[in-house]
Amino acid sequence: MSDKRKKVITYGSFDLFHEGHYRLLERAKALGDHLTVGVTTEHYDLMRGKLNLVDPIMTRIENVRKTGFADEIIVEDHEGQKIEDIQRYGIDIFTLGSDWTGRFDYLKQYCEVVYLPRTSGISSTALRKAREAIVRIGIIGTGRIATRFFKETSFVSGIETVSAYNPEVESAQAFEAMHQVRTRSDDFDAFLEETDAVYVASPNETHSGYVRLALSAGKHVLCEKPMTFTHAEAVELYDLARERGVILMEGIRTAYLPGFSQILSVAQNGTIGEVCDIEACFTRLGDPDSREMSDARYSGAFLEYGSYSMLPIIKLFGKDYEDIRIESVYGKNGIDIFTKVTFYYQNKLATAKAGAGVKSEGQLVISGTKGYILAKSPWWLTREFDVRYEDPNQIDHYESSFSGQDGLRYEIAEFVSKINGTGGNDYKLTAGESITMARVVEQFMRIRQEMQRSIR
């Protein structure tokens, strides 16, 4: 006799089991008569870029079982298994949360695909034995990077985007409609109250103000670069974070990538001898009307991309440069379309180049007395690099695993680890290094403003 029950299947890691997981399973069960739940293995989660897993798989399976919604629990451990399971178990409906909308439409040829609305505003957890609480994060600003951040948090365990804020009503409403997350435009204090941490992704000129308000409210802060335009304000904000006992991180994503850490290790372990020179370049051709290429007061090549080019220099040569020289090529309205900063250290040189509307070879070259490191564009998303020597036939090739498109999930994972006290020493991007970059930014701003005044 055939089984006439409507069969539903869903999948997830279900790490740090919380109310959102519970509600998802409840809704999935309501779609049919029999619910199969696939729980992913640690290995498969790492393969697909899911970072910061906390609970072992048996704990995650047990938490799913305790809900009472799952009629059957299976383990997902390889790519392509979803199609296999749909066919093997005679599935009628495949379902996941709405943050995956569109990603699994290819399964429609096998069964019905349903994306369930996410649970917004989660403030409690259910059926959870986790060592750390889930970090409730709010996003300030609802532009392109905010959407990427929202999507990348789904790959990092222990964090949940619960709200967003943008004083521009239309943008706030569009973000809420797209992501089904509560988005405020008129009550910043209420936004802060429902979060443990915030991600500042608003226009550059608003960064420091939002950071100060969030830190003062006792919230952890991850802020897009540049966090401030002055050295003194950077010092003040890091001091405030320390006083309030919260984490403050500047979002220079390259600093948190495993491949970039490998570059630093090779540069420092003697493989290429004593490092004498560093050249780092980041250029991008974008929309001429975009903020990056048209805002002559608070944007431009250096403010958008200079932090990336300065990063390897300050990581390898340190904070105490002897002098710097800043030179720019200016476009309309006095915006810098290409900027070069030369750093002078004792018996060492370095150059950081940034372009917006000007294209160059975006590579990183670290030169030493025995050889050099060459990381080709986009070196700021390091997946591979070479070490080359006097003998042109001798090339050591290095590769590093990399999940996602822009490295944002590694930055988020580092932020969560620091909040939970599991991140170890603060060495990937220290407060002192961030403050040093702010000192360079301040000097750049002064030079650009003087030039703009001279052409009026």
Q: Which residues of the chain have pLDDT under 50?
A: 1, 122-131, 422-424
Domain boundary pick from 227, 252, 277: 252
Do 98 and 169 lie in one domain? The reply is no
pLDDT at site 117: 85
Asked, for residue 128, whether it belongs to a domain, the answer is: no
Backbone angles phi, psi at 189, to 5 degrees: -65, -40
Asked if the peptide bond before residue 226 counts as cis, ω within 30 degrees of 0, the response is yes
Asked, for residue 207, whether it belongs to a domain, the answer is: yes
Do 147 and 277 lie in one domain? The reply is no
In degrees, rounded to 5, the angle at the alpha carbon of residue 424 between the alpha carbons of residues 421 and 428 is 115
User: Residues 43, 77: contact at Cβ < 8 Å?
Assistant: yes
DSSP letter (8 states) at residue 261: H
In this structure, how many other beta carbons lie within 10 angstroms of the beta carbon of residue 268? 12
Asked, for residue 363, whether it belongs to a domain, the answer is: yes
For residue 48, give its domain range. 7-116
pLDDT at site 123: 35
Structural domains of the chain, count: 3
pLDDT at site 306: 98
pLDDT at site 128: 37
Asked, for residue 46, whether it belongs to a domain, the answer is: yes
Give the separation between CA 199 and CA 191, rounded to whole angstroms. Answer: 12
**Strand residue runs (E) in 89-134:** 93-97, 112-116
Sign for the pseudo-dihedral over CA of 46, 37, 21, 82: positive
In degrees, rounded to 5, the angle at the alpha carbon of residue 341 between the alpha carbons of residues 322 and 265 is 75
User: Residues 95, 37: contact at Cβ < 8 Å?
Assistant: no
Do 82 and 184 lie in one domain? The reply is no
Domain boundary pick from 252, 285, 311: 252
Backbone angles phi, psi at 174, to 5 degrees: -65, -40
Of the candidates 204, 437, 229, the one whose C-alpha atom is nearest the C-alpha of residue 341 is 437
Asked, for residue 397, whether it belongs to a domain, the answer is: yes
Residue type, 114: V
The structure tokens 């002078």 sit at: 344
Asked, for residue 272, whether it belongs to a domain, the answer is: yes
Do 231 and 358 lie in one domain? The reply is no
β-strand partners of 137: 161, 197
Do 337 and 441 lie in one domain? The reply is yes
Do 295 and 312 lie in one domain? The reply is yes
Token output for 435: 């403050």
Of the candidates 197, 188, 124, 190, the one whose C-alpha atom is nearest the C-alpha of residue 159 is 197
* Residue 435: partners with Cβ closer than 8 Å, 6 or more residues away: 231, 234, 235, 238, 319
Q: How many Cα atoms within 13 Å fall on the side-chain side of residue 27? A: 17
Backbone angles phi, psi at 119, to 5 degrees: -90, 115
Strand order through the sheet with 159-165: 182-184, 159-165, 135-140, 197-200, 220-224, 248-251
- 228-273 pLDDT, tens per residue? 999 999 999 999 999 999 999 999 999 999 889 889 989 998 899 9
Domain boundary pick from 252, 276, 296: 252
Do 246 and 290 lie in one domain? The reply is no
Give the separation between CA 211 and CA 80, rounded to whole angstroms. Answer: 43
- 7-26 pLDDT, tens per residue? 999 999 998 888 889 999 99
pTM given for the model: 0.78
Do 313 and 382 lie in one domain? The reply is yes
Do 262 and 201 lie in one domain? The reply is no
Do 242 and 298 lie in one domain? The reply is no
Do 223 and 275 lie in one domain? The reply is no
pLDDT at site 119: 62
CATH number at residue 17: 3.40.50.620
pLDDT at site 130: 43
Give the separation between CA 28 and CA 22, rounded to whole angstroms. Answer: 10
Of the candidates 356, 250, 249, the one whose C-alpha atom is nearest the C-alpha of residue 303 is 356
Asked, for residue 172, whether it belongs to a domain, the answer is: yes
pLDDT at site 308: 98
pLDDT at site 427: 79
Do 235 and 313 lie in one domain? The reply is no
Asked, for residue 80, whether it belongs to a domain, the answer is: yes
- 399-452 pLDDT, tens per residue? 887 777 788 999 998 999 899 874 445 778 999 999 999 999 999 999 999 988
pLDDT at site 100: 86
401: left (phi over 0), alpha (psi -120 to 50) or beta: beta
CATH number at residue 240: 3.40.50.720
